[in-house]
Amino acid sequence: MAISQENVKLIFGLKVRQLRLEKGLSFAQLSKLTGLSASYLNEIEKGKKYPKIEKINLLSDALEVSFDDLVSLQLSKKLAPLGELFQSNLFKELPLELFGIEPAHLLDLLSNAPAKLGAFLSTLIEISRNYGLRVENLYLNMLRSFQEMHDNYFEGIEESVEAFRNHVFSEISYPYTYQQFEGVLKSEYNYQILPKGLENQQELKPLRSMTIPNEAPQLLMNPKLTESQQLFTMSKELGYQFLKLAPRPYTSSWVSVNSFEEVLNNYKASYFACALALPEKAIVEDLKEFLSEPQFKAELLLNILETYQCTPEMLMHRMTNLLPKVFGIKELFFLRFSTSDETIFKLTKEMHLSGLHNPHGTALDQHYCRRWASIEILKELRNLEGEDQDAVQCKVQRSQYVDSDNEYLIISLAKPSNKNIGQNSSVSIGLLISPQMKRKVKFHNDPVIPVRIVNETCETCPLYDCQERAAPAHIYEESQQLNAMKKAVDLLIGKL
């Protein structure tokens, strides 16, 4: 892989700094030896400047190394673990400024303690290899961190949505229709909409949509999409265009991930689509009505889906935007589980605000607790008959975690997937039962809501009498054996 010009500067600066420090030279002393200003030398070491050939010759003479060694991209053994980071071009691909980090500051940190940090980075790289983690895993984890930093509410996108709404729709009427979105895409952005565009594409059967970019973009959709899914697909395209988001993915599901910016722009377009379908002022009033009821009323949530013609996932995502911002409920999580046969359940999306909460994803091949509402509702889908087969299902539960004081109110929604479009999925939002949450969610102690003791995975669970167990608790048993050994060792040492 070719190293970017930015990383070439960083490597050169890192080598100059290392050589200068090894010789015990200050900026002033190196400036006197080379005739280059101290401020210019500082810019070189920060990776902001790359000197011309004659100045490199001055540096190589002063630092007593050959020209070739100085400009080589080879790092010393001491700095070798950083080489994979530079080879991966992460410094270029990751927008570190979003997290308040400048590459030059990170370089400075690496330079001050290269051996220890190098060993640490080598360990991280080895861990990622052992668990098969790819760069897209890193990007998606960074996206979650970015969402959490902002409580998953982005005022700039909210304002853009309202500007778009005022520009395109003279009268506010919900829900928007297929014809409205199709008309805007055609008139404003010259789109061609093909609702059956993926019908004969066997390899692309799992995709919901694909966009072919050109002067007249083509939006190809899977003919089995529901009306709500069609609306979301088109409104997401509107988000890409109105927000001028590039680079961007051109398929509904990730076929390949090229950069963090692409992942971030995909999220921004999805945020735009949810905010467009569920306007903040209107949906806040609906949520106030729902949360103020002393009893949990699933029909109020289902009415929102019907009123705005949105998918369950859109509604749950919108709740994660507005519950922290408007209602002050910041300790929450969002989960999406998928399954094809109700025996293997995969956590395909998660987000936790205000710290990491249970449950959370694991890189290990373990079985998530079958007592979770998120999984129970998926298991119940296969038992539906008649008209209920196409209806959105809702489940609520209070989850108390083993060996923890944490208790969450979980609300899950699920609907059987159309054939050939992915797997059955459930989406859930979990609210930590706290004083703030109790003040805002009046039905938190509704006696009809079942209370269940849960854990994260079967392999780590001490509940041996669990009828829903899907795997032996071998990890828990191993930890218990290790704890017993530690106690025995401490006891013997104490006697001595």
Q: What is the pLDDT of residues 312-358, one digit of tens each?
A: 999 999 999 999 999 999 999 999 998 877 678 888 888 888 665 55
Domain architecture of the chain: domains with CATH: 5-130 (1.10.260.40), 149-277 (1.10.10), 311-481 (no CATH)
CB 476 within 8 A of CB 403: no
Q: What is the pLDDT of residues 293-322, one digit of tens each?
A: 999 999 999 999 999 989 899 999 999 999
Instruction: Give the pLDDT score at 350.
Output: 86
Confidence at 1, pLDDT banded by 50, 70, 90: very low
What SS3 class is residue 373? helix
Q: Which long-range contacts (CB under 8 A, 24 or more apart) does 46-49 make?
A: 46/13, 46/104, 46/107, 46/108, 47/6, 47/9, 47/10, 47/12, 47/13, 47/14, 47/103, 47/104, 47/107, 48/9, 48/13, 48/104, 49/9
Instruction: Give the pLDDT score at 290.
Output: 97
CB 222 within 8 A of CB 194: no
Question: What's the Cα-to-Cα distance from 126 to each of 106, 117, 119, 430, 452, rounded to whole Å?
Answer: 21, 14, 11, 34, 39
Average pLDDT over the chain, rounded to an integer? 85
Question: What's the Cα-to-Cα distance from 417 to each of 22, 109, 307, 391, 455, rounded to whole Å?
Answer: 63, 49, 21, 11, 28
pTM to 2 decimal places: 0.77
Average pLDDT over residues 215-234: 92
Q: What is the pLDDT of residues 156-188, one digit of tens each?
A: 999 999 999 988 886 667 788 899 999 999 999
CB 199 within 8 A of CB 333: no
The strand pairing partners of 451, in sequence order, are 398
Q: How far apart are CA 279 and CA 308, in angstroms?
A: 9
Q: What is the pLDDT of residues 87-96, one digit of tens each?
A: 555 555 556 6
Terminal alpha carbon distance of the chain: 59
Q: What is the pLDDT of residues 45-78, one digit of tens each?
A: 888 889 999 999 999 999 999 998 888 877 666 6
Of 210, 149, 93, nearest to 352 (Cα)? Answer: 149
Give the number of other CB atoms < 10 A from CB of residue 263. Answer: 22
Instruction: Give the pLDDT score at 186.
Output: 96
Residues 315, 317, 320, 322, Cα dihedral to 10°: -60
**Could you tell me which residue, 99 or 266, shows the higher pLDDT?**
266
Give the number of other CB atoms < 10 A from CB of residue 169. Answer: 13
Of 372, 442, 429, 452, nearest to 152 (Cα)? Answer: 429
Most confident stretch, 50-59, 232-241, 246-255: 232-241
